Structure 1
Amino acid sequence: MNKVTLRVKVAQYSEIEPRIGQTIQVMDRKIALFKVTNGKVYAIDNRSPHPKGGVLSEGLVSGEYVFCPVYDWKISLVDGKVQAPDEGQVKTYKVEIEGDDIFVVLE
């Protein structure tokens, strides 16, 4: 079976503040969008993998990590992995930038 890929324009690069998460809604998915200080943009599911959750777009960003605002879990923006001693993972999404447009790719 073939995978369906959807590429959606979600924001303007120039309007995203570094280290401040933004919530975007793409179909039924809530995604947290982050620009880090080196200029890279990352997109991950906007819910912490902790059983009680947490809105990741409200978390503190340090380097290429976001800290869950409720449980302080350190989560990689690159691969979505929760850092030890905690465990878990959030889904990451491919981000493409063309000019000033930011696209998220859903598969």
Structure 2
Amino acid sequence: MNWIDIGALDDIPLRGARVVKTQLGCVALFRTDTDRVFAVSDTCPHKGGPLSEGIVHGNKVTCPLHNWVFSLETGQAQGADSGSITTYPVQVAAGRILLDATTLKKRSAA
């Protein structure tokens, strides 16, 4: 993997999100209340809502437009909803958030 430093863990508030803009679209980074960090596509497959503006609860995010809930670990929609979002490898090292650039390059343009 080709890790790129995209910022400090403290740049994302607990239960908050930030967006990384790439040439192929936006990636949402979420920090849970236990300091876990997840990276997923920022667009809800249902109506295109910005997931980075959603509510983080546990290891899930709720879309701000129509309340679809997605697992930040697997990208799968929860409950009766069907669909998924793309997840990306991310890690935290020495308080810095690292995102895998190799995986981003493989992403297809939307």
Fold equivalence (TM over 0.5): yes
User: Are 2:64 and 1:76 equivalent residues in the alignment?
Assistant: no
In structure 1, runs of 5+ residues without a counterpart are: none
Identical-pair percentage: 31
Deviations 1:51-76 (CA, angstroms, capped at 9, x unpaired)? x2100000011111100000100100
Q: Could you state the TM-score of these two structures normalised by the residue count of structure 1?
A: 0.88
- Give 1:24 shift: 1.1
1:92 maps to which residue? 87
- Give 1:36 shift: 0.2
1:32 maps to which residue? 28
Cα distance between partner residues in 1 of 2:2 and 2:67: 32
- Give 1:25 shift: 1.2
- Give 1:14 shift: 2.0
CA RMSD in angstroms, aligned pairs only: 1.3
Q: 1:53 aligns with which of 23, 38, 48?
A: 48
Q: Could you state the TM-score of these two structures normalised by the residue count of structure 2?
A: 0.86
Q: Which secondary structure state, in structure 2, belongs to the residue aligned with residue 14 of structure 1?
A: helix
2:15 maps to which residue? 19
User: Are 2:42 and 1:42 equivalent residues in the alignment?
Assistant: no
- Give 1:28 shift: 2.1
Q: How many residues align?
A: 102
Cα distance between partner residues in 2 of 1:62 and 1:100: 22
Deviates more, 1:23-32 or 1:84-93: 23-32
1:7 maps to which residue? 3
